[in-house]
A and B are shown apart, each in its own frame.
Chain A
Amino acid sequence: MKKITTNTTPANTPPKKKYTMLKFIAIMVISMLVGAVVGGTMAAFLDNTDTASAALLSWLAAVLPTVHWVVFALLTVVSFGLYFAARTVVFAFERSGSENEKLSERADTLITFSMLANSLNMIFVYCIFGMLCALPMVLNLENSINVLVLFATIIVTTAHNVYSIKLYKRLAPEKRGDPLDFKFGKEWIDSCDEAEKMLIYKASYSTYKLMQVVLLAVWVLTAILGPFFDIGIYPMVIITIIWLAHTVGYQLSAIKLGKEKLNR
């Protein structure tokens, strides 16, 4: 049988890395030594943790009610500031006959950062409110302003999302979906073309890999800080649930997608 040859050069394959097993073993040994030192240090200070943790909780109870609304105010100003800057650029892009690529890219970047600031606003306000609820000395009428901040955040971040999506649709009129609709995520991604889906895939996979590291780091942190703050098993249970959802969710999606048409 005649051997088929081609004139094309084979795809560049990276050289095989040497000593990967040795490097892995070295990292494991160093990690064990660091863990032993940290554990020993923790044991030495464990008797003095009650005072330290009580002082920290008192300090948090004093500053968090103020930090709560300051964070909300700052991030609202930032997110809407970026939104209005993006709006100006979108209008300039439309006046250029939708031809100026640089204006389009700038508008896209500004909208993205605006939505990032908006998301950070929601996350920080929710988390700080959660901390306030967990601090028993803060549970009094004074934190009614913090309840108002929470409600204001819901309204402000939702409004920001709606305005940002509407603004983005001026750049990309083919996009579908109403951000107030529960089916928005599906409709939006169904209206994305192949390049946009590729971008979403790459960003999602990058986040998946980051989360594997973050979840491990959070587990280590919770295990170390647990004795200091007497937090019980609840945080570990929550971390486990998130870790399972993250890993099993991805694997099951991959199995399901492997049986479907990938590029429909």
Chain B
Amino acid sequence: MPLHNRLRELRARDSLNQGELGTLAGVSRQTISLIERGDYSPSVTLALKLAAIFHTSVEDLFSYTEEE
């Protein structure tokens, strides 16, 4: 999975559960879970929303590595 994220780490930092983060971002708890597991790559809009919630940049929240 080439798209990595720090969602779980930042969620723990801000004491947010998946449901609360989902509500803030306008998506379901299941979607947050899928993103954290790397099973779903969010759209640009959602990535920007998530970054804004954690007061960070998209590049700090998500990182992309080439598959070998």
Please tell me if the beta carbons of A195 and B27 are within 8 angstroms of each other in the complex: yes
Please tell me if the beta carbons of B40 and A193 are within 8 angstroms of each other in the complex: no
Chain A nearest CB, measured from B27 CB (Å): 4
Interface residue A187 (Cβ < 8 Å from any Cβ of B): no
Please tell me if the beta carbons of B27 and A193 are within 8 angstroms of each other in the complex: yes
Please tell me if the beta carbons of A98 and B17 are within 8 angstroms of each other in the complex: yes
Residue of A104, A193, A263 most packed against chain B (CB within 10 A): A193
Interface residue B23 (Cβ < 8 Å from any Cβ of A): yes
Task: Give the chain A neighbours of B34 by CB distance below 8 A.
Answer: 195
Chain B nearest CB, measured from A207 CB (Å): 21
Please tell me if the beta carbons of A196 and B18 are within 8 angstroms of each other in the complex: no
Please tell me if the beta carbons of A195 and B18 are within 8 angstroms of each other in the complex: no
Please tell me if the beta carbons of A99 and B17 are within 8 angstroms of each other in the complex: yes
Chain A nearest CB, measured from B57 CB (Å): 20
Please tell me if the beta carbons of A98 and B31 are within 8 angstroms of each other in the complex: no
Q: Whose C-beta in chain A lies nearest to the C-beta of B22? A: A174
Known: A174-B23, A263-B43. A8 touches B66 (CB 8 A): yes
Please tell me if the beta carbons of B19 and A193 are within 8 angstroms of each other in the complex: no
Interface residue A9 (Cβ < 8 Å from any Cβ of B): yes
* B contacts, CB < 8 Å to A: 17-19, 22-23, 26-31, 33-35, 40, 42-43, 45-46, 66
21 A–B pairs (Cβ distance < 8 Å), ordered by A: A97-B17, A98-B17, A98-B18, A98-B29, A99-B17, A99-B18, A104-B29, A172-B28, A172-B29, A172-B30, A174-B23, A175-B28, A192-B28, A193-B31, A194-B27, A194-B31, A194-B42, A194-B46, A195-B40, A263-B43, A263-B45
Given contacts A195-B31, A195-B34, A196-B30, 13 further A-B contacts (CB under 8 A): A98-B19, A101-B18, A104-B33, A171-B29, A174-B22, A174-B23, A175-B28, A192-B28, A194-B27, A194-B42, A195-B35, A196-B28, A196-B31
The 10 closest A-B pairs by CB, nearest first: A193-B27, A195-B31, A195-B40, A98-B19, A193-B31, A172-B28, A193-B28, A195-B34, A194-B43, A99-B17
